[in-house]
């Protein structure tokens, strides 16, 4: 099996109320869906979060195009080498948006592999746990949701 193409679809919809994190104000919710296609007709889908107020939206598409030569033509089961080849170049950096795009591609590869072997991804990863602790990060603030309101 070989990868024949990779695309990204971007979605955005307005938030009922903006939230902020000290640097950006998020007025919309955005999502990037990466699709990886193969010569066997199997498609893997990965997702990545968007950015504040559309910041870097065009860059997401540019990064997908940048990584296409690394991904297209490869066997998706070579996911580790593909990931390393995306991670090694320092031209695009190892933070922020480039890491989000690499993550979305990696998720799409795992989805593709799971579909190819007819197994859920959690089984491919070893089923170490049947449940995991919840974690949240962000520190986003919304009007009317100060420390007192959050404590309640």
Averaged pLDDT for residues 127-148: 74
Q: Which of 36-50, 55-69, 85-99, 106-120 ranks highest by mean pLDDT?
A: 106-120
Per residue in 4-48, pLDDT tens?
A: 999 999 888 888 888 887 777 888 888 889 999 999 999 999 998
Mean pLDDT of the chain: 85
Q: Is the pTM of this model over 0.85?
A: no
Three-state DSSP state, 116: helix
Query: What is the pLDDT at residue 28?
Result: 83
In whole angstroms, give the CA distance from residue 8 to residue 69: 15
| 130: confidence class by pLDDT, cuts 50, 70, 90 | confident
- Partner residues linked to 142 by β-bridges: 19
Which of residues 71 and 25 earns the better pLDDT score? Answer: 71
Three-state DSSP state, 142: strand
Which option is the CATH number for 3-151: 1.20.1440.230, 3.40.50.970, 3.30.390.10, 3.60.21.10? 3.30.390.10
Q: How many CA atoms lie within 13 A of 132 on its CB side?
A: 7
Averaged pLDDT for residues 110-117: 98
In the chain, at which residue ranges do the beta strands (DSSP E only) sit? 3-20, 25-38, 43-49, 141-142
């Amino acid at each position: 099996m070989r990868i024949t193409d990779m695309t990204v679809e971007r979605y955005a919809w307005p938030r009922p109320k903006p939230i902020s994190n000290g640097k950006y104000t998020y007025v919309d919710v955005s999502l990037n869906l990466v699709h990886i296609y193969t010569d066997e007709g199997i498609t893997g889908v990965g997702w990545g979060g968007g950015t504040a107020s559309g910041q870097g939206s065009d860059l997401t598409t540019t990064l997908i195009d940048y990584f296409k030569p690394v991904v297209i033509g490869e066997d998706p089961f070579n996911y580790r080498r593909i990931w390393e080849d995306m991670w090694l170049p320092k031209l695009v950096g190892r933070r922020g948006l480039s890491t989000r795009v690499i993550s979305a591609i990696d998720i799409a590869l795992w989805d593709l592999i799971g579909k190819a072997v007819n197994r859920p991804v959690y089984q491919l990863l070893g089923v170490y746990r049947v449940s995991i602790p919840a974690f949240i990060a962000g520190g986003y603030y919304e009007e009317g949701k100060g420390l007192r309101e959050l404590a309640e």
